[in-house]
Amino acid sequence: MKFALIDRVMELEPGRRIVAVKAVTLAEEYLAEHFPTFPVLPGVFMLECMTEAARWLVHASRNFMHSVVLLHSAKGVTYKSFVAPGQLLRVEVICRRLGEEGSDFSGAGFCGADEVVKGRFSLRHMTLASRSPTWAATDERIVDEARRRWSILYRGVSAVSGETVGSASGIG
């Protein structure tokens, strides 16, 4: 099962940083099994929110050059509190290194002013065609879908300032 956790990109500085949000709702199926009497966002999903935001930062900074951007390693990840349905998880990710085949980040997640998760992690970037030219068409489909999703996640946000434009503001 694939999870798309980020609901909205709030701020972007290509090559430097991204701020994104995840609204946690009771409608999410995994909450029924993760502490059924005390539903909370699993810690690994908090890390995945930071990873997903970093993935969008790589795509935006590299013009979707790589179809596949995956978590390579995570270090020093600490969890300080729970994120429950009805809460908004805001993740702030800073790019420490943006290379051709990989990148390094530090990130933190907040509910309001309270830090609930933080850590460092690395991503790997690649195309399927780099493994086998027969996969080039699949790369194109993956990138097309990523661009489509990005246009929804990033709608109404000015690139450097993070200001919301038009009536798209509402999460904040």
Both tokens assigned to 91? 């993740």
Q: In this structure, what is the dihedral angle of CA atoms 147, 148, 152, 158, given to the nearest 10 degrees? A: 30
Paired strand residues for 108: 92, 118
Alpha carbon distance 7, 154 (integer Å): 9
Is there a catalytic annotation at residue 34? Answer: yes
CB 131 within 8 A of CB 77: no
Both tokens assigned to 143? 């990138």
Q: Which of 34, 59, 66, 72 is catalytic?
A: 34
Nearest to 115 by CA among 85, 90, 95: 90
Tell me the catalytic residues. 34
